[in-house]
Structure 1
Amino acid sequence: MKLLLDENLPKRLKEDFPDHEIFTIRDMGWNGVKDSQLLALLQEHNFHALLTFDKNMRYQQNFKAYPVTVFVLTAHINSYSELTKLSPLVKGYLKKSRLPLGPVAIS
């Protein structure tokens, strides 16, 4: 699957998903892009899911207009050592035949 790491996540998190095509916002040259535009770009560039630490995104965006999967990682700090613990939960979703559309809280 083709995955995108939001700019609020440690780049090292890419290492947790070796079986997938994974890019960062910086890799794509999308630094500073607003969330609604980012969701449109996900669709336009055939990404399957976005991983983010932005807990507000699920309340601020219209996921009916942008039917994409957004994994919202929830931890007490935004560090690789904490977020890597959530990777197996994300991988569980990625193994399914269909991803859920909209925000998916991972904690």
Structure 2
Amino acid sequence: MKLLVDECIDRKFTREFVGYEVKTVSQMGWAGVKNGQLLTLAQAEFDIFITVDRNLSFQQNLLQFDIAVIVLQAKSNRLADLKPLVPNILAVLPKVVQGQAIIVNENNIV
């Protein structure tokens, strides 16, 4: 399973996903690319896009993309605030569906 982590998330966060192929938006050379175009690029190479952008699912028709989206809800996008979400992210990875967004926070998965 291939994961793409949004550019507004610390690249060190990718270390939390042992056993997965993980890249950041910046590593792919896509920094600054807007969400619709980013999802179009990402769907060709990745299975899941991980972001903190809570508006993404409202701004884009995710059904038109062949990629699943995981939206992280934390106090901030700082690494220390995102790390506690990792167990819930790992739990949801096998269950995500292309064209849909799943919200993950420290307490649960929505």
Provide the TM-score with structure 2 as the length reference.
0.89
Look up the equivalent residue of 2:78 and give its one-letter code: S
Gapped regions of structure 1 (runs ≥ 5): none
Gapped regions of structure 2 (runs ≥ 5): 106-110
Residue 70 (structure 2) pairs with residue 100 (structure 1): no
CA–CA distance in 2 between the matches of 1:78 and 1:42? Answer: 21
Partner of 2:108: none
Partner of 2:83: 84
CA–CA distance in 2 between the matches of 1:88 and 1:103? Answer: 18
Percent identity at matched positions? 35
CA–CA distance in 1 between the matches of 2:20 and 2:58? Answer: 28
Preserved CA contact (<8 Å) 2:51 2:69: yes
CA–CA distance in 2 between the matches of 1:93 and 1:19? Answer: 15
Structure 1 residue 72 displacement after superposition: 0.4
Preserved CA contact (<8 Å) 2:96 2:102: no
Q: Kindly report structure 1 stretches of 4+ aligned residues shifted beyond 3 Å.
A: none
1:43-86 per-residue CA deviation (whole Å, 9 max, x = no partner) reads: 122x0101001011011001121132111000111111110111
Look up the equivalent residue of 1:55 and give its one-letter code: R
Task: Give the aligned CA root-mean-square deviation in angstroms.
Answer: 1.1
Structure 1 residue 24 displacement after superposition: 0.4
CA–CA distance in 2 between the matches of 1:43 and 1:70? Answer: 10
Provide the TM-score with structure 1 as the length reference.
0.91
CA–CA distance in 2 between the matches of 1:63 and 1:25? Answer: 18
Preserved CA contact (<8 Å) 2:47 2:68: yes
1:15-41 per-residue CA deviation (whole Å, 9 max, x = no partner) reads: 100110000011100011110111111
